[in-house]
Amino acid sequence: MAVIPKPASTVVLMDDSSRIYLTRRPQSMKFMGGYYVFPGGGVEKEDAIYDTEFITDENIDRSFDRAYYIAAARELFEEAGVLLCKRKDGTTVVLSEDSIQEYRRRLLNGEISFLHILMKEEIYLHLESLTYIGQIITPSLYKIRFDTRFFLARLPKGQTPKPDTHEISDTIWLSPEEALSAYESDKILLAPPTIHTLKTMVNYFKGSPLKMPEFDVRDYKIIL
Band the pLDDT of 74: cuts 50, 70, 90: very high
**Whose CA is closest to 80, among 32, 20, 16, 128?**
20
- The pTM for the full model equals 0.89
Q: Taking the mean position of all CA atoms in its chain, how far away is CA 93?
A: 18
Q: Are 26 and 167 in contact (CB under 8 A)?
A: yes
Sign of CA dihedral 139, 145, 150, 156: negative
| pLDDT for the residue numbered 178 | 95
Pairwise pLDDT comparison (207 vs 117), residue with the higher score: 117
Of 87-96, 126-135, 150-159, where does mean pLDDT reach its minimum?
87-96
pLDDT of residue 210: 45
Beta carbons of 50 and 66 less than 8 angstroms apart = yes
Q: Give residue-wise pLDDT tens across range 2-44.
A: 789 999 999 999 998 889 999 998 877 777 778 999 999 999 9
137-146 tens-digit pLDDT? 988 888 888 9
Note the pLDDT of residue 176. 93
Ramachandran area for residue 223 (φ above 0: left; ψ -120 to 50: alpha; else beta) = beta
One DSSP character per residue, 78-103 reads HHH----EE-TTSPBP---HHHHHHH
Classify the C-alpha dihedral 190-149-8-144 as positive or negative: negative
Q: Which of 8-17, 152-161, 205-214 has the lowest mean pLDDT?
A: 205-214
Q: How far apart are CA 146 and CA 187, in angstroms?
A: 26
